[in-house]
Amino acid sequence: KNQVEQSPQSLIILEGKNCTLQCNYTVSPFSNLRWYKQDTGRGPVSLTIMTFSENTKSNGRYTATLDADTKQSSLHITASQLSDSASYICVVTPLRGYNKLIFGAGTRLAVHP
């Protein structure tokens, strides 16, 4: 069954610190892997999109990595800000049925001053 699992479930860090969020998936074959940021009660906002052939993609302080062999991805946040407090969701697009994005449960990040 196609699944996307994320860890940790939640994370608290101090402002200015870095953190790394993990994503493991079983979706195969897959077309691309995305990371979204979702503020509480809001819609998801795209951070990065990586195709299966890409290893890394950056968007400002956000850097995503992808290892298609081990089916793992990570999202690294550098120099965290209070506004980074949100859920970060890993999403995989299957190669077949590519309209059906498969969402992870997300990691809830809280950045404290």
Q: Which residues bind another protein (CB under 8 A)?
A: 31-32, 41-46, 49, 51, 89, 93, 95, 97-106
Q: What is the DSSP pairing of strand 72-77 with strand 19-25?
A: antiparallel
* 13 SS3 class: strand
In the complex with another protein, the residue whose CB is nearer, 44 or 75, is: 44
CB of 34 to another protein, least distance (A): 8
Contacts of 47 (CB under 8 A, 6+ apart): 34, 35, 36, 37, 59, 62, 64, 75, 88
In the complex with another protein, the residue whose CB is nearer, 63 or 80, is: 63
In the complex with another protein, the residue whose CB is nearer, 16 or 97, is: 97
